[in-house]
Structure 1
Amino acid sequence: MSELLDLPLVQELANIRLNNLDALPDCSAVYLVADDANRVYYVGQSSHLQLSLKNCDRFEDFLAVASKLCWLVCDEAELVEIESDYINYYNPPLNNNIDIENIKKNTIASGMTPEQQLERYLEICTIIKELEKEKEELKQNIVAFVSDYKQQYDTNLQYKGVTFLVSERKSWEYSPTVKELEEKVKKLKKQEEKEGIATISKVSVYPIVRGELTL
C-alpha cells in the first residue's frame, strides 16, 4: 500500500448497503465497494453517483464479494486524481480484472482457511484475556513504584523511552435529579431510534464469541 495523503480511509467514509442505492446522493463522487471488514474490491468515480451505480454493469460482481458502498463527494475536476489515489492505495482486485472466484479465495486472511482463521481468532481472544488479567495484577505495583519514584526524585519515571505517570480516575455518584434526567434521555434515544428520527452515524460489525474457550 502506498500512502493515502489527505484522504479519508474507507472506514471513515459515508456508506450504505449495496441493496439500498436509493439512499445514495446523485452527486459527483469517488466510490469504494467494500465488505464489512473494510476490504476494498473496487474503486470508481462518477459525476452522477446514484445514476451510475444503478446502471453499473459490474454491480453483480460487487454483490458477489462486497456488502457496502462508500463514497467521497468531490469536485468533478478532482475525480480522476482521487480515484487514482484510492486505487493505488487499496489495489482493489476488481479494478485489476481478477475474477470473482479468485477474489473469494484471496480474501482469506494470510492464506488461511476459514477454520484456521476461527482457530487463530480464538487464540488471540485467549491471549488478550490472559494479558488483561496480568495487566490488572501489575497495576497496583506499578502505581506504587511510580508514585514512590516521583516522590523520591521529584520527576516522572522514564523507562525505555516512555514516561510513567500516575493518574486518578474518579467515579461519581449523582443526585436523584441527574439520574432521573439520564433515564429520560435514555428513553428519548430509544424512542427516536424506533421512530426513525435518530440517524445512524456509523455501523460497526464484529464477531461475538459465546461460551468457554477451549484450545
Structure 2
Amino acid sequence: MGQISRNRNYDLILKHFILMWVLTVIGVLFALLLPISVVILLSIICIGMIVITFLMRLGSAIIFIIPFLMGILHFLLLVILIEWLGAALVVSVFIGTIIVFLLLAFIGMRYIIVVADVLIYFFTVLIVFVVFGFIYIFIPVSSTFFLVVAGIIVLAFALYTVYEIDLMRNYYIRESEILFFALRLYLNLIYLVIELGISSKKFRF
C-alpha cells in the first residue's frame, strides 16, 4: 500500500468501514429476535437498497442502514448454511471473516512506513491463513473441505479489499463521497458486479 495518506477523508472511510462491520454484527444479533418471515423481507429490502445506492451513488447517512440490514441478511444465510454444514463451521467462519476485515481496516489506518506492496498482500494472506488455521485447529468443524473453500473466498475478498484501500488512498475523495466509498469498500465485490453489469449494458447500447 506504500505510505499511508494522512488525508482525513481516507481515515474517515476506514473508520466508517469498521463501523459498518460493527453494525453488521448488531444486525445479526437483532435478527435473532425476529420471525423468519420478517428476516426474509428485510433481506430483500437490503438487496434493493444496495442496488439503488450504487446505481444512484447515494452518499447520505441512510447508507448506515445497509450494513445493519446486511447483518439480517447474513443471519438468514447463516441459518441456511448451519442446517447444511453445522453451526461450528458456519459461525466460526463468520466470526473469522469479521476479524480479518477489521484487522485490515486497523492496519490501513495505522500503516505509516514505506513497505513494498507485495509485502502488504503477503501480510493479508498471512492474516487469513492464521485466522482460518486457528479455526481448523481449535474448532471441531464438520467439513475441512468447506472450511478451505470458505478461506479461499475470504482471501479473495480480503485481497480485493486491500487493492481498493490502496486505490482510495491515492484517489481524491470529496467530503460528500466519504460514505459512498466506505460502503463501496464494505461491499467491494458486490459493487464490482453491479458496475460490470452497468458497463456491459452501456456497451450493448
TM-score computed with the length of structure 1 as normaliser: 0.21
Structure with the bigger percentage of strand: 1
Q: Looking at CA atoms only, which structure, 1 or 2, has the larger radius of gyration?
A: 1
TM-score computed with the length of structure 2 as normaliser: 0.22
Structure with the bigger percentage of helix: 2
Higher relative contact order at CA 8 Å, sep ≥6: structure 1 or structure 2?
Answer: 2
